[in-house]
Copies of this chain bind each other. A is one copy, B any other.
Amino acid sequence: MDTQVRSGLLALLAAHEYGSNEAWLTDQRGRYTGRADVMVVPDSVASVQKLMRYCFTHGINVTPQGGNTGLCGGAVPEGGVLLNLSRLNRIRQVSVADNALTAEAGCVLHDVQQAAQAAGRLFPLSLASEGSCQIGGNIACNAGGLNVVRYGTMRDLVLGLEVVLPDGTLVSHLSPLHKNTSGYDLKHLFIGSEGTLGVITAATLKLFARPQTVATAWVGVADIDEAVRLLTVVQGTFAERLHSFELVGGAALSLSAAFCGLPEPLDAPWHILLELGDSLVCGDLGDRLAACLLEAGFDHAVLAQSERERLELWKLREHISAAQRGLGVSIKHDIAVPVTRVAEFVARCGADLQRRYRGINIIVFGHLGDGSLHYNTFLPDILSHEAYAYEDAVNETVYRHVLDCGGTVAAEHGIGRVKNHWLPSVRTAAEIACMRAVKAHLDPKNLMNPGKLLPPADGEAV
């Protein structure tokens, strides 16, 4: 960036230039380090507008960034301005009667959960990085997490958005309207757009009643088909009370139990951690769950008898990722297939990978309630960064089976720069052409987070 342009930018915003950008230039997994001419951290929407107008005029790339917890490299800048939203972090409004809360993009997810709790309500999005990820990033990536089976993904939790377009125009719809059918719903273009269409500066989010009663069970099953049968029974009986239904493979459990220093709750090839929540005080919810499990033949199960036991069961689930790091470097996949085809996918893909890479270690866990899996593969004897040399080949195998089972290569982590060349495998040419038309209209100079989400156009440098 030209020194004069850079000075003009900083003068305009009176922005702090952070001493070292290093931490913000590298993604959480440490796989990509980008570069930025300048990092700006504006503290008002008006400043974001000024910045965007300036960059639009001078043709400067802009990469919006939240908590930088993304797993697909979507927030790693490749030159130009790194626009960090951390200082736009006010909760603007909480309205219990509207069941809505308005938060700025830089609010940490945990702080939004706390603001809802302080008002006696629940903001249900919950995921591993909730202590540092930000609402704007959650929306830009359409985050998922542990409660999707009940509350949906971030997309389902957004009532209204405030967005600064690439040319600096503000579009603000923060009224907590639950019904509004007024032309094409452009809000949904920005949700999941990973910073390529504009800058999300605030959102009005849905709130829910808080659970007063929780019942948690750990169930051992012989195979995934049995797990799906369990899901059908529990959903049919308890409906929206089911807020988590997590699959844990036997190997994943053993790793996590050793890591946590906790006993394995029971011995089985596959495990389900399921939790019901009820807004009423229901003394018999646990008994009803136990009766339902027994009646349906799921007698290899434990119910948490105390909050301590409940937290221990969740600890086993939540520490799988940390525990598996001890195995070395893995090639990870954030995938989803229809619930009814998870078993088929796991069987076929596992057999194929074993055939190609004898002794490969596959750690499977995830959100079976919505068909999304974390499918992590450790190559035998190649457990350093050298494993990434095999990434394309392993992806090729895994994703082919995902697609054969009617699934998607990107369930809840987004596309970023890791998967944009895979987009044509899940979206048709006509769809990608439509995405490009939207992008060309809103961002005619291709300044917003270039190289992310959309695959390179013909003739464009990769």
Give chain A's interface residues, CB within 8 Å of chain B. 95-100, 120-121, 141-142, 144, 148-149, 152-153, 155-156, 165, 169, 171, 175-186, 188-189, 191-193, 197, 208-209, 228-229, 231-232, 235-241, 278-280, 288, 336-340, 367, 370-372, 406-415, 423, 426-428, 430-435, 437-438, 441-442, 453-454
Contact = CB atoms under 8 A, between A and B. Distances in A.
Contacts of A408: 177, 179-182
A141 B184 CA distance: 10
B179 A370 contact: yes
A429 to B, nearest CB: 9
Contacts of A183: 192, 415, 423, 427, 431-432, 435, 453-454
A345 to B, nearest CB: 12
A340 B176 CA distance: 9
Contacts of A372: 178-179
B410 A120 contact: no
A244 to B, nearest CB: 14
Contacts of A337: 177
B428 A171 contact: yes
Nearest to A234: B209
Assembly of this chain: how many copies?
A: 2
Nearest to A72: B181
Nearest to A211: B239
A19 to B, nearest CB: 34
A280 B184 contact: no
A93 B367 CA distance: 24
A153 B171 contact: no
B175 A338 contact: yes
8 contacts: A98-B340, A148-B178, A175-B338, A176-B338, A179-B372, A182-B409, A184-B193, A186-B434
Nearest to A151: B240
Contacts of A280: 237-238, 288
Contacts of A148: 178-179
Nearest to A278: B239
A180 B430 contact: no
A97 B182 contact: no
A192 to B, nearest CB: 5
B415 A182 contact: yes
B186 A435 contact: yes
Q: Would you list the 5 A-B pairs with minimal beta carbon distance, nearest first?
A: A239-B279, A188-B188, A209-B239, A437-B441, A178-B370
A208 B239 contact: yes
Nearest to A436: B441
Nearest to A435: B184
B177 A338 contact: yes
